[in-house]
Amino acid sequence: MSDKQSDKDEKTGLSRRGFLGASALTSAAVAASGLVGGVMTRDSWAAAAKEAQQKIHVAPGELDEYYGFWSGGHQGEVRVLGIPSMRELMRIPVFNVDSATGWGLTNESRHILGDSAKFLNGDCHHPHISMTDGKYDGKYLFINDKANSRVARIRLDIMKCDKITTIPNVQAIHGLRLQKVPYTKYVFCNAEFIIPHPNDGKVFDLEDENSFTLYNAVDAETMEVAFQVIVDGNLDNTDMDYTGRFTAATCYNSEKAFDLGGMMRNERDWVVVFDIPAVEKEIKAGRFITLGDSKVPVVDGRKKDGKDSVVTRYIPVPKNPHGLNTSTDGKYFIANGKLSPTCTMIDIDLLPDLFAGKLKDPRDVVVGEPELGLGPLHTTFDGRGNAYTTLFIDSQVVKWNMEEARRAYKGEKVNYIKQKLDVHYQPGHLHASLCETSEADGKWLVALSKFSKDRFLPTGPLHPENDQLIDISGDVMKLVHDGPTFAEPHDCIMARRDQIKTRKIWDRNDPFFAPTVAMAKKDGIKLEEDNKVIRDGNKVRVYMTSMAPAYGLTEFKVKQGNEVTVVITNMDQIEDVSHGFVMVNHGVSMEISPNQTSSITFIADKPGLHWYYCSWFCHALHMEMVGRMMVEPA
Ligand code: CUK
Ligand code: CUA
Ligand code: CA
């Protein structure tokens, strides 16, 4: 950070320490003037933000303190940002096709995409980092695809997607969260939409008892679906506790309706709580079914004749709840009311009694229901007992104290609301640094606003979103940065930079390109040395190395109609020297980073001379890094 900054502030002549003190006084004055608990004006936050703005200045050559991983929304990728600078560092293509790296075009990426490679789109919402003992372990990042019902895993050492799983029997994977304790064994994800089973066109009725949706657990290592649970109603967002026993999910369509009016009919929908060891026990005892062609064990978690199943409990909460967040102290599941101005606090310590039948009413586990403002969507935490909730309709972030909200629910007169801060505009998710772990450090908060309106230079009818950085380290929230982003990130996650350990260059034994290495071995090729063309009937495999500024092969000959696979191994072992390969007029492009092997397959359908060139600037003679494919007419 800006430790090179001058010790004295030029305008005020105050030392840096004095300046901080003065700003703390300003905060106290703001509190005394009654702004806390009220609305701060544009002027007042601008003044309060001055000192915080210096904190976010990461000078040229200096590094950020946190990694941020941003969902790319219906653009389908994951973006890596540095926090607090909000500088975009990298993009990780996942459910999209990427021209620069060749994701979706190369054989390696198509192998990972599997059958779903036929889809060129995705819609990601929820990026989450794997954990050990309730802390980020930096191994993987998982993300959902609502559009094509998939879950993807990104290896954080290379920042590439390495597995994608399509969830069977469902439509639209939305909420996604990870097991926190003792480690991320399961990835939990919600299928949002209710569909008939089997969905073969004979039944279109959602009232039918064979119409339902499923809660899903994916094994984080194998990425296979471990089990599914049938639920009443639908599923929106989910989270897990810090004991490893319970997960919870919101349902906004307890009505099983198919239209807006119907979905808003009930004053209360519910949170469904899952007892995960109880689900595992059912499966072990053989009490499960399977659906369609899939072999995944399915346990029924619906109520039967008003009686609870052994794996679920349904807790009524008001109305069309959305976000579901576990407080970092491990005490509460918090359901965000959306159509109700409230959040519902569920005491996790009371859930064993609820499952044991010791409580009369499922609402007995509710220990707080603070009234926060209009349109609560998501909540995050600072590790100091405060919660921060987005108010979509009010365009605000509200800071509130959880223990005080709990006391107020018992009838005590306490003002649990600490501050309301205007954000711009209509926020969905918000996320504080390390807030999904027991290490929540209460430093930075990002509010992901759905509308930017007047905040940026106009870009035509389509506007960017606005991800706003807020300093929450003091008593008062300070808005310090507007961050334009493309196509609705929905959600993000921040980890300390020491928690993410990346490789500088590829390991030659990396499983990412293992199928290509196996193919070369069959062809008797030494990838690190050989520059050879293998002809196999109509198939031609062209193996070459690359080293700046030249390919190992500057020409090769094929016949019109041949299926050509170009395999390139980058022998530059210098960090940051990536090459590319583009075959002009063939839709062929890929990245080959240091020590990496990449391959791409296409049809040589046009006779004649066709140039190929390096697309990643690698050397003073990068423009000259070219070659020719000669295609003889059929
Ligand atoms: S959801 Cu978009 S604002 Cu998909 Cu997490 Cu709530
Ligand atoms: Cu190799 Cu540019
Ligand atoms: Ca509803």
Where does 98-185 show beta strands of DSSP type E?
128-132, 135-145, 150-155, 160-166, 173-178
Task: State the pLDDT at residue 41.
Answer: 62
> Which residues have any ligand 1 atom within 6 Å of their CB?
125-126, 174, 237, 322-323, 377-378, 428-429, 490-491
CA dihedral 424, 429, 432, 438 (to 10 degrees): 170
Q: Given a cut of 50, is residue 29 above it in pLDDT?
A: no
Task: Report d(CA 449, CA 634) in Å as an integer.
Answer: 57
For residue 352, report the phi and psi dihedrals to the nearest 5 degrees.
-55, -40
Burial class of 37 by CB neighbour count within 10 A (0 to 12, 13 to 18, 19+): middle
In tens, the pLDDT along 413-453 reads: 999 999 999 999 999 999 999 999 999 999 999 999 999 99
Portion of the chain with pLDDT greater than 70, in percent: 92
The reported pLDDT for the residue numbered 52 is 72
- Nearest ligand by distance to the CA of 261: 3
CA atoms of 140 and 178, how far apart (whole Å): 11
Q: Let me know if 289 is exposed, middle or buried by CB neighbors in 10 A (0-12, 13-18, 19+).
A: exposed
Q: In this predicted structure, what is the pLDDT of residue 185? A: 98
Q: What is the DSSP letter of 289?
A: B
Q: How far is the CA of 190 from the centre of ligand 3 (A)?
A: 17
Are 138 and 500 within 8 A, CB to CB? yes
In tens, the pLDDT along 131-175 reads: 999 999 999 999 999 999 999 999 999 999 999 999 999 999 999
Of the pLDDT bands very low, low, confident and very high (cuts 50, 70, 90), residue 54 is confident
Atom of ligand 2 at shortest range from CA of 625: 1
The answer on pLDDT for 59 being more than 50 is yes
459-511 pLDDT, tens digit per residue, is 999 999 999 999 999 999 999 999 999 999 999 999 999 999 999 999 999 99
For the sheet with 417-422, list strands across it.
376-381, 386-391, 396-401, 417-422
* 393-408 pLDDT per residue, tens: 999 999 999 999 999 9
Atom 4 in ligand 1: which residue has the minimum CA distance? Answer: 125
Joined together, the tokens standing for residue 269 give 């929908």
Asked whether the predicted pLDDT for residue 381 surpasses 80, the reply is yes
Residue nearest to ligand 1 atom 2, measured at CA: 490
Task: Kindly tell me if the per-residue pLDDT of 362 is higher than 70.
Answer: yes
Distance from C-alpha of 23 to C-alpha of 127, rounded to nearest angstrom: 35
Given a cut of 70, whether residue 597 has pLDDT beyond it is yes
**27 pLDDT above the threshold of 50:** no
pLDDT, mean of residues 190-206: 96
Q: Is the pLDDT of residue 227 over 90?
A: yes
Answer CATH for 511-632 from 3.50.50.60, 2.40.30.10, 2.60.40.60, 2.60.40.420 = 2.60.40.420
pLDDT for res 403: 98
CA of residue 158 to ligand 1 center, whole Å: 27
Give the pLDDT score at 207: 85
CA-to-CA distance for 391 and 350, rounded, in angstroms? 28
Query: Which residue's C-alpha comes closest to atom 1 of ligand 1?
Result: 490
Total residue count of the chain as it appears in this document: 634
CA dist 316 → 77, 337, 363 (Å): 36, 11, 7
Where are the domain boundaries for CATH 2.60.40.420 in the chain? 511-632
Per the prediction, the chain carries an average pLDDT of: 93
Q: Is the pLDDT of residue 293 over 50?
A: yes
Q: Could you identify the atom of ligand 1 that is nearest to the CA of residue 377?
A: 6
pLDDT of residue 321: 98
Q: How far is the CA of 587 from the centre of ligand 2 (A)?
A: 18
Q: What is the C-alpha separation between 238 and 406, in angstroms, rounded?
A: 22
CA distances from 416 to 48, 372, 389, 404, 425 (A): 22, 9, 13, 5, 24
Measured from the Cα of 577, ligand 2's closest atom is: 1
Cα–ligand 2 centroid distance for 575 (angstroms): 14
Report which secondary-structure segment, H or E, holds 25: helix 16-32
CA-closest candidate to residue 161, choices 84, 106, 236, 216: 106
pLDDT of 53 above 90: no
Report pLDDT for 23. 38
Closest CA to 265 of 273, 254, 275: 254
pLDDT at 369: 98
The two three-digit tokens of residue 43, written as one number: 């002027």
Which pLDDT belongs to residue 36? 42
At 51 the pLDDT is 73
On the question of pLDDT at 38 being above 80, the answer is no
